[in-house]
Structure formats: C-alpha cells, structure tokens
Amino acid sequence: MTRLAILNDYHGVIATLPYWEPVRGRLAIDSYRDTLKGEDALAERLRPYEVIVAIRERTRFPGSLLARLPALKHLALTGRNSGHVDLAAATARGILVTGTVASGTSAIEHTLALILGLVRRVRQEDRALRDGRWQTGFAVDLAGKTLGILGLGRIGSRVAAFGQFLGMRVIAWGPTLTDERAAAAGVTRVGLDDVFQESDVVSVHLRLSDTTRGLVRARHLGLMKPTAFFVNTARGPIVDERAVVDVLKRGAIAGAALDVFDEEPLPSNHPLLALDNVLLTPHMGYVTQESYDHFFSQVVENLEIYLRGDVPPRALNPEVLAQR
C-alpha cells in the first residue's frame, strides 16, 4: 500500500473525514498532531512516505529536506500558497506538488471577529466578569474612524467593505495596488507610512513573499496613534514581532489582535502571552469545518487522479508526471 503522512493535524481529525473513503483501501495513513522542529527530525519521520499531506504552511519543505526524502513522490498542499515549498527542487527530484483552490470566507470572517473583539474589549471584559468585576473599561466605536488595509486583494477588499458598512473611512496600500483598483473598491490608495499614521485600525492582508517578509517594522508601528489598533491575520513574518511586543508593552498603541506568529505553535513562554492589550488566536482564520471539507475533498480528488497515474488539474508542476 502507498504510505501517506498527514502533518500538523492539531485536532487529530483529518484521517476521519469521509472524503478518504474512495482511497482508504489503497493508502496506509499516519496522522501526526505535533509539529517537529528541525530538519533532522522531519527527515527521520518522513523518510518512508510516498505521499505527504501538508496543512497550509505549518511545515516548510526546502530543497535540503526534499533531498532527504527518497520515497516522496507526491506533496499534497492545502490552499494555493506554495511559498513554503522549494518547487524547483521538488520538480528536479520528480516530486509532484498539488494544491487546492480558495476556501471561501473563513479568513475574512475571522478578521472581522478579531477587529470587533479587539475594539469592544471582549477578552478583557469576559475575564473581568468571571473575576467578579463589572465594566472595567471603555470600548471604541468604529463609525467615523479610519481603517487602513495592507493588501487589497480577495480578503483585504472584503474587510474594506466591512469597514465601509460600519461607516469607516478606508485607505489602503499594496505593492501592486493602483488608484483605479482602489477606487473600484471605494478605497483611497495611500503610501505605506500614511496607512500607519492615519488609521485607527491597521489590518494586514498581504501574501508572504520576499517582498513582504519583514515589511512592517518598528518604524511603521511607531507612526501609529496611541489610540490605534493593529491586526494581523495574514502571516507572522510580514511583521517584526519583537516590535509589536515592544509597542504593546509600552502602551504606545491601544492594542493588537494577532492570529499569526513567527513561530507556530506559539511557545508557552512567548512574551505576547503575558500582555493584556493583545487578543490572540492560534492561526485559526481558516480552521472551520467548511474550510477543512473544502481542502480535503480536493486533496483526495488530487490523490485519486495521482494514484491512477494521471495529472491532477491542481498540479503546480504537472511536467513531473509527464516526464515519468
């Protein structure tokens, strides 16, 4: 049987989903709930597997790791982003890489939940109420305030529309954003510094790339109003995490909401966990029943086609199978 590994299955439910039934008799499936650190440990664990299912970017696959996985023939990704995989190295080694298409609105909805939870002090007041206290601080109205969007793509544009619905002025910056695209979304395009200087809420919706890695630095956060809020549901490495910790510790901004981090899962001794002015969630913007159904039904479709020896339509390097 074909050996298959599911990585970083935090909930331990992936292998139980009904979508596996058509291929279950042809696969020996192992599901791992932990996240290994270090290439040596990963290479030791994954060496026997012909197929690896990687959930989003929870595990990176550089060329050095792929070279240590002689049995690997199919790397099945969930989502469209392949930035955590050395695709050229995979292709050179004859490893088929497949993805899945966009998974709906879950990341958008989670961003809205974090923005509202942050400015309405949901976490603080929930904790206070459980401790026997009543109304410990003031929330903030968003109507009439300015929402700054970094990255006006599929997610950012919907968050912008939410801001407009609430009566917010919306401004945006993106590395490829034009005045025309911004105007079509009812948004004003401004410079990167202007987003931080003018916004009452800054929300990050950029893809992680060489261009955006480390984009938001201490200097940008230092431009924010002391009453402003910072939200990141995109990717942790886009933002200097140490700078975020610093401005929160100093009370230089009103607060932050973060769903993504430099290291995931977040270490138990991370300084963010000790701060009261930050709302934290464990990179769950896409973790819904509907999103998982969407991801893994397509993963299994790709697998069925691969096991037949054909090229899946969502293959990122279809030339691999053509060369076999």
DSSP-assigned beta bridge partners for residue 77? 54
Q: In the Cβ-directed half-sphere of 199, how many Cα atoms lie within 13 Å?
A: 32
Amino acid at the residue 218: A
What is the structure's pLDDT at 215?
Answer: 98
Q: Which CATH number fits domain 106-280: 3.30.450.40, 1.25.40.10, 3.50.50.60, 3.40.50.720?
A: 3.40.50.720
**pLDDT at residue number 143:** 98
How large is the average pLDDT for residues 301-308? Answer: 93
Residue 323 has pLDDT above 80, yes or no: no
Tell me what pLDDT residue 57 has: 86
Mean pLDDT (whole number) for 97-124: 93
In the chain, what are the domain boundaries?
2-103+288-323, 106-280
Provide CB contacts within 8 A for 41, sequence distance 6+.
none
**Residue from 229, 236, 274 nearest 252 by CA:** 229
| Among 217, 58, 105, 225, residue whose Cα is nearest residue 150 | 217
Confidence of residue 81 (pLDDT cuts 50, 70, 90): confident
pLDDT of res. 324: 64
Mention every residue, 6+ apart, whose C-beta is less than 8 A from residue 267: none
Rounded CA-CA distance 6/8 in Å is: 7
Tokens representing 11 are 């909930």
pLDDT of 98: 95
Q: How confident is the model at residue 103 (pLDDT cuts 50, 70, 90)?
A: low
- Is residue 287 scored above 80 in pLDDT? yes
Q: Do domains 2-103+288-323 and 106-280 have the same CATH topology?
A: yes
Q: What is the pLDDT of residue 165?
A: 98
Q: How far is CA 231 from CA 16, 154, 221, in A?
A: 34, 17, 12
For 264, the token pair is: 């995931």
The pLDDT tens digits of the residues spanning 230-265 come to: 999 999 999 999 999 999 999 999 999 999 999 999
Spatial distance between the Cα atoms of 47 and 72, rounded to a whole number of angstroms:
8
CB neighbours of residue 141 within 10 Å: 10
Tally Cβ neighbours within 10 Å of residue 85: 25
Peptide bond into 62 cis (omega under 30): no
**315 and 98 Cβ atoms separated by less than 8 Å:** yes
φ/ψ of 170, rounded to 5, equals -120, 130
Q: Give the pLDDT confidence score for residue 37 in this predicted structure.
A: 85
- Answer whether residue 113 shows pLDDT above 90: yes
Phi/psi at 199 (5° precision): -85, 145
187 — alpha (psi -120 to 50), left (phi > 0) or beta? beta
Task: Quick: pLDDT tens for 166-215.
Answer: 999 999 999 999 999 999 999 999 999 999 999 999 999 999 988 999 99
Using the predicted structure, report yes or no on whether residue 25 has a pLDDT greater than 70: yes
Domain 2-103+288-323 has CATH 3.30.565.10: no
pLDDT in tens, 264-286: 999 999 999 999 999 999 999 98
Residues assigned a catalytic role: 235, 264, 283
